[in-house]
Amino acid sequence: MPDFFILSATERVVSVTPWLASQTPAKWIWYQPRKGEDSLQTSMFEVGSADMEMEEQYRLEEEASSLGLRPMSSDIESGWDDDDADGWDDLSDCDGEIQLLRDEEIRDGLVPDACTLEEATAYRQRLHEIGKAAFVEETIIRETITAKKLCTAFGIAPPAFLEGAPDEAYHSLLAIALSREFSRRPKLPQYNTIDDAVRLLHESKNIIVLTGAGISTSLGIPDFRSKDTGLYSKLAHLGLSDPQEVFDIHVFKEDPSIFFSIAKDILPMEKKWSPTHGFIRLLQDKGKLLTNYTQNIDNIEANAGVSPEKIVQCHGSFATATCVKCQFKVAGEAIFGEVREGNIPYCTACKDRIAAEGLKSQGLKRKRSSNGQQKDRKVSDSSDEDDYEIPTPGVMKPDITFFGEDLPDEFGQRLLHHDRELADLVIVIGTSLKVAPVAEVPGVIPRNVPQIYISRTPVTHTEFDIDLLGDCDVVVSELSRRAGWDLQHHMIPDDEKVDITPVEGYESRHVFKVVGA
CB of 323 to Zn ion, least distance (A): 3
Binding range to Zn ion, per CB under 5 A, among 91-99, 191-199, 244-252, 325-333:
325-333
**Host H or E run for residue 288:** none
Q: What is residue 112's DSSP assignment? A: T
* 378-400: b (≥16 Cβ within 10 Å) or e: ebeeebeeeeeeebebbbbbbbb
* Number of residues near Zn ion (by CB under 5 A): 8
Alpha-helix runs per DSSP H in 147-274: 147-153, 171-182, 194-203, 249-254, 256-266
CB of 52 to Zn ion, least distance (A): 38
- 94 a known binding residue? no
| C-alpha separations of 62 from 90, 372, 477 in Å | 17, 55, 49
CB of 263 to Zn ion, least distance (A): 18
Position among 328, 336, 402, 464 found at the interface with Zn ion (CB under 5 A): 328
Question: For the chain, what's the residue count?
Answer: 517
Of 443, 428, 454, 432, the C-alpha closest to 508 is 454
**Spatial CB neighbours of 133, under 8 Å, sequence gap ≥ 6:** 1, 66, 67, 68
Closest CB to Zn ion among 121 and 348? 348
- 323 a known binding residue? yes
Position among 215, 323, 449, 476 found at the interface with Zn ion (CB under 5 A): 323
Q: How far apart are CA 300 and CA 280, in angstroms?
A: 11
- Would residue 202 show up in a list of annotated catalytic residues for this protein? no
Scan residues 243-302 and list those touching Zn ion (CB under 5 A).
none
> What mask of x and - would describe binding to Zn ion in positions 357 to 396, judged by CB under 5 A?
-------------------------------------x--
C-alpha triplet 64, 68, 72: angle, nearest 5°: 45
Position among 117, 145, 326, 354 found at the interface with Zn ion (CB under 5 A): 326
Position among 325, 397, 489, 510 found at the interface with Zn ion (CB under 5 A): 325
- 347 a known binding residue? yes
Scan residues 179-238 and list those touching Zn ion (CB under 5 A).
none
Query: What does 437-499 look like in DSSP terms, one character per residue?
Result: TGGGHHHHS-TTS-EEEEESS--SSS--SEEEES-HHHHHHHHHHHHT-----TTS-TT--EE
The CB density around residue 250, as the number of other CB atoms within 10 Å, is 12
Binding status of residue 345 toward Zn ion by CB under 5 A: no
Burial of 109 (0-12, 13-18, 19+ CB in 10 A): exposed
Q: How far apart are CA 153 and CA 251, in angstroms?
A: 42
Alpha-helix runs per DSSP H in 24-116: 54-66, 72-77, 88-93, 103-107
Closest CB to Zn ion among 76 and 326? 326
CB of 321 to Zn ion, least distance (A): 11
Beta bridge partners of 144: none
* Catalytic position from the list 315, 418, 461, 489: 315
Position among 347, 426, 449, 479 found at the interface with Zn ion (CB under 5 A): 347
Binding range to Zn ion, per CB under 5 A, among 13-21, 168-176, 242-250, 348-356:
348-356
At 427, phi and psi to the nearest 5? -120, 120
Closest CB to Zn ion among 303 and 320? 320
CB of 407 to Zn ion, least distance (A): 23
Closest CB to Zn ion among 200 and 349? 349
Q: How far apart are CA 466 and CA 69, in angstroms?
A: 36
Closest CB to Zn ion among 327 and 361? 327
- 151 a known binding residue? no
CB of 32 to Zn ion, least distance (A): 28
Position among 13, 350, 449, 475 found at the interface with Zn ion (CB under 5 A): 350
CB of 378 to Zn ion, least distance (A): 12
Q: How far apart are CA 177 and CA 135, in angstroms?
A: 12
Query: Which residues would be at the binding site for Zn ion (CB under 5 A)?
Result: 323, 325-326, 328, 347, 349-350, 394
Residues annotated in the binding site for Zn(2+), as ranges? 323, 326, 347, 350
Q: Catalogue the active-site residues.
A: 315
